[in-house]
Structure 1
Amino acid sequence: MVTSYHSTRNKTIQASARQAVLKGIAADGGLFVHPGLGQEKADLDRILHQSYQENAAYILGLLLPDYTEEELTQAIQAAYTGSFASEAVTPVKPVGDLQVLELFHGPTSAFKDVALTMLPQLMSIALKDTGDSAMILTATSGDTGKAALSGFKNVDRTGIAVFYPEGKVSQIQYRQMATQQGENVRVFAVQGNFDDAQSAVKRLFLDQELNDWAASKSIRLSSANSINVGRLVPQVVYYFEAWKQLMQQGVIGRQDQLSFSVPTGNFGDVLAGYYAYRLGLPVKKFVVASNANNVLTEFIRTGVYDRNRAFIKTISPSMDILISSNLERLLYYMTEGDTKQVKTWMDQLAAEGRYQVTPEILEKIQSLFVAEYAGDDETRAEISRVYKEDAYVLDPHSAIGYLAGGRQKGEEPMVVLATASPYKFAQDVMEAITGDTMAEWDALHALENICQDPVPAPLAALESADILHDAVVDVPGMKEAVKDSCALTGRGTR
């Protein structure tokens, strides 16, 4: 067994890449990290001349060393063949003075599709080693839930339960989850916000009684959130793809750097960019773009992480997060693998809701990361401005990334990650552009008349789809919901 991963909080808690994918989270609550990340650099000349699928196999081979080349190639073909509307998978387009990396051409119109079409493949391969089944537990602020449901629908020996904050996702996001078909899927609205749901799911992974109960039935609990390394590493690929496309378009030369502006709440998407940087991608800086729940902005500017603040419901709900789980992985690398220090900070966060890094660590973070944030009014104004000036429609999350990227643009090209289709937030987008408040489907159809792409077929089909999932649970009731859902692990068909 190649123990290429260990916990961010304890180096003695080790796992192979396959085990890390199956476990999702370490036994001590830490996240699995690869201590040798970046020791072997990616060959940029090779990446420049390969397809997206070939680059995915190459980069995942560097990050998941105990998956064979044949396994990864087969998994990538299964994940990406016919799944994305764009042949490039994640195309880059010039919009105004910035470059927009479109990540929303997958089956659920969000960036999560890039990873959540791959994760079921990686998990199925790892399960073959064990003879067990898997129960996927996922908290979502909107997009992860549908992408995970779509990816794991009817997967053999696998069930999935998704928990989302009741009333705190967009109407399209709600319908995407509530109408999900599949013999092995369940969806639950949770009374509370995303942090309540996410924290509860993490506790369930560490609940010894629940894990023993599941083990007695040969079921492993795992995650489709970006705390799972198998969810995180496929996202590294599109950072290299952005570089490749801009090289091929003549926007940059071989010695030039790029900067990336990333709308993020859980820090997973921008962390994938940091992984690419450690693998040798020429990056000058990452712009961490937040909404009014700007806990990350404060942290990157001051070194203080403090979630003791009011939770704000915004028009960019996938970023309505106050506990950014993947930041823990960055702290591990910035401290050069000091797991004791990381554990101290995470214990302080759990006990007091805050921690503060040392000036030395803050300086290292600020050498590569800058932070911006925007409230709803600024977000609406940016959607309107970019449409009027550039005839391009941004969703509320991507608009924050675009605004932040514009504020921080230097001489190097700035790539903005467009993380969701504007159709997923049609009401807010149309209100930003026209000033009018529209009903859900009226907004969707009106948006089609001005948007650069037609309504994706899966979103259009939601208008007549039946609601199949209407369960509502409180946080204490989530454990019983998981136990009930474990019966789903025998219902997969593919």
Structure 2
Amino acid sequence: MRYISTRGGVAPISFSQAVMMGLATDGGLLLPERIPTVSAEQLRAWAGLSFQQLAIQVITPFLTPGEAVSDRLPELVERSFATFSHPDITPVTRAGDHWILELFHGPTLAFKDVALQFLGNLFEMLLKAEGGRLNILGATSGDTGSAAIHGVRGREGIHVFILHPHNRVSPIQERQMTSVLDANVHNIAIRGSFDDGQTIVKTLFNDLAFKDAYRLGAVNSINWARILAQIVYFFYAWGRVTGGDPHQKVLFSVPTGNFGDIFAGYMALRMGLPVERLILATNRNDILVRFMESGEYRTGEVNPTISPSMDIQISSNFERYLYYLLDEDPAAVRGEMERLRVEGVFAVSEARRRQAGEIFSARRVGEEETLARIQATWERHGVLLDPHTAVGVEAAGNEPGAICLATAHAAKFAEAVHRAVGFDPPVPPPLEGLLERPTRCRILDPDPEAVRAFIREVLG
């Protein structure tokens, strides 16, 4: 498999090159030249595999033959998921009419661990092979940062710089990042929103001289390997729910802000996974819902909510879907993304909006609805949801059999959960004593030059 950019300015590159490039050098996002397809026979066979066995089957067609990753994939997979506390890695449980896909059994109790444990080991393998170094730069709305940090902390040849919005993540999310004191971990709190941090990251990646001089790499879902690892649990959940019947379609409800997780579901669908629809669930930061309703993608102000990981108004991964929606035309994608940069808005035709609507159902969920869903799910089924998961369950509504992605452990958002049910969720071992640990963090203005100067200060 070779990889190309959504904007058409990158000659086809290998899987390993795509991983190390992160953001494409033309400012676009990398995608495989073609989407592998899965037969009905394969679906039946895959349904009986363990998560690790399935990961090898799903990932292999996306690799470039002859690269070391292909030979060492089983080792990478085994090491990456050995850190999870549940033997099924991403178990599927029942809560009334809905299925809950539990994605929070990794080291930081968030779905990002599935991809970032894999990516951390992948980075380390590639760097050892070439004797190089890598300086990871990423922005987080809450969970990516801690998962990235725990994926690469203490690893030789790697430094990680993570930007988070100052005072706009939960206390647990903030401490999961800033209490990691390894010498290769550098936390930056930006006086602004996640979108400000994401813009800074893209600005520095697009400065190719700076990117090359400081060997910048990406852990945000702009890195294709993140999406690839997340595709696995859509196949896994389908197999556990249907028993491997290739004629049985399912619905997935996905709480999303940056469009990465739901894009992984879209790729699974394109590969042949029997998916009836993808339910796109957002909080009041609803740029994606507004696009699905009107065909217009218009940026707005970020509103702080009790589901802060979705407090996003510019969804990076949407560009990948736009590439397919616009018939894989990189010139058209370039034009729309430039229009977004200059005017803050672009729009697609009504025909294309309806085309998107054939795959995605979109719903925004308010604060009171989120709290009510947490309360109702606890009282009726004895299941505690974090607020992001509650958004997804609420968006699934009366759809029986919908698989709802549980993106974080309820204890990471204890304040919101307490408001809903009247008590704090039990604290799992990884979070015990977290708020009392010493921390290290630099607070900076939302200015690319300030972050650039800090990186130079640290690396010399």
TM surpasses 0.5 = yes
Q: Does 1:417 align with 2:405?
A: yes
The correspondence for 1:323, drawn from 314, 317, 324, is 314
The correspondence for 1:256, drawn from 243, 248, 252, is 248
Distance (whole Å) between structure 1 residues aligned to residue 355 and residue 122 of structure 2: 33
CA contact (8 A) 1:236 1:275 kept: yes
Tell me which residue corresponds to 2:268: 276
CA contact (8 A) 1:256 1:282 kept: yes
Deviation by residue 1:243-290 (Cα, 9 ceiling, x = unmatched): 121134xxx844210010000000000000111111111000000000
Tell me which residue corresponds to 1:230: 225
The percentage of aligned residue pairs carrying the same residue is 38
Q: Does 1:100 align with 2:91?
A: no
Tell me which residue corresponds to 1:303: 295
Distance (whole Å) between structure 2 residues aligned to residue 471 and residue 372 of structure 1: 35
1:5-404 correspondence runs (5 A): 5-10=3-8, 12-39=10-37, 43-66=42-65, 67=67, 68-81=69-82, 83-214=83-214, 220-248=215-243, 253-307=245-299, 309-404=300-395
Give TM-score, length-normalised by structure 2.
0.95
The amino acid across from 1:134 in the alignment is L
**Pair 281,212 (structure 1): closer, same or farther in 2 beyond 3 Å:** closer
**Pair 147,93 (structure 1): closer, same or farther in 2 beyond 3 Å:** same
The alpha carbon displacement at 1:298 in A equals 0.5
Tell me which residue corresponds to 1:461: 433
Q: Secondary structure at the match of 1:305?
A: strand
Distance (whole Å) between structure 2 residues aligned to residue 381 and residue 110 of structure 1: 22
The correspondence for 1:447, drawn from 420, 425, 429, is 425
The alpha carbon displacement at 1:69 in A equals 3.7
The alpha carbon displacement at 1:421 in A equals 0.5
The alpha carbon displacement at 1:12 in A equals 4.3
Tell me which residue corresponds to 1:217: none
Unmatched 5+ stretches in structure 1: 215-219, 435-442, 449-454, 488-494
The alpha carbon displacement at 1:120 in A equals 1.3
Q: Judge which range, 27-36 or 358-367, deviates more.
A: 358-367
The alpha carbon displacement at 1:363 in A equals 2.1
Distance (whole Å) between structure 1 residues aligned to residue 408 and residue 147 of structure 2: 12
The amino acid across from 1:63 in the alignment is F
The amino acid across from 2:268 in the alignment is A
Q: Judge which range, 111-120 or 31-40, deviates more.
A: 31-40
The amino acid across from 1:399 in the alignment is A
Q: Secondary structure at the match of 2:425?
A: helix
The alpha carbon displacement at 1:470 in A equals 4.6
Q: Does 1:486 align with 2:459?
A: yes
Q: Does 1:427 align with 2:419?
A: no
Q: Secondary structure at the match of 2:433?
A: helix
Distance (whole Å) between structure 1 residues aligned to residue 341 and residue 135 of structure 2: 26
Deviation by residue 1:2-30 (Cα, 9 ceiling, x = unmatched): 6x101100164332110110010111110
CA contact (8 A) 1:161 1:485 kept: no
The alpha carbon displacement at 1:482 in A equals 2.0
Q: Secondary structure at the match of 2:438?
A: coil
The amino acid across from 1:429 in the alignment is V
Distance (whole Å) between structure 2 residues aligned to residue 16 and residue 69 of structure 1: 12
CA contact (8 A) 1:382 1:403 kept: yes
Q: Secondary structure at the match of 1:14?
A: coil
Tell me which residue corresponds to 1:490: none
Deviation by residue 1:221-258 (Cα, 9 ceiling, x = unmatched): 1110000001111000000110121134xxx8442100
Aligned residues: 456
Q: Secondary structure at the match of 1:118?
A: helix
Q: Judge which range, 265-274 or 384-393, deviates more.
A: 384-393
Distance (whole Å) between structure 2 residues aligned to residue 69 and residue 141 of structure 1: 32
**Pair 237,320 (structure 1): closer, same or farther in 2 beyond 3 Å:** same
The alpha carbon displacement at 1:40 in A equals 5.8
Distance (whole Å) between structure 2 residues aligned to residue 40 and residue 47 of structure 1: 10
Unmatched 5+ stretches in structure 2: none
Distance (whole Å) between structure 1 residues aligned to residue 46 and residue 10 of structure 2: 35
Distance (whole Å) between structure 2 residues aligned to residue 92 and residue 208 of structure 1: 43
Q: Secondary structure at the match of 1:231?
A: helix
Q: Secondary structure at the match of 1:117?
A: helix
Distance (whole Å) between structure 2 residues aligned to residue 51 and residue 5 of structure 1: 28
Distance (whole Å) between structure 2 residues aligned to residue 462 and residue 339 of structure 1: 46
Tell me which residue corresponds to 1:477: 450
CA contact (8 A) 2:44 2:246 kept: no
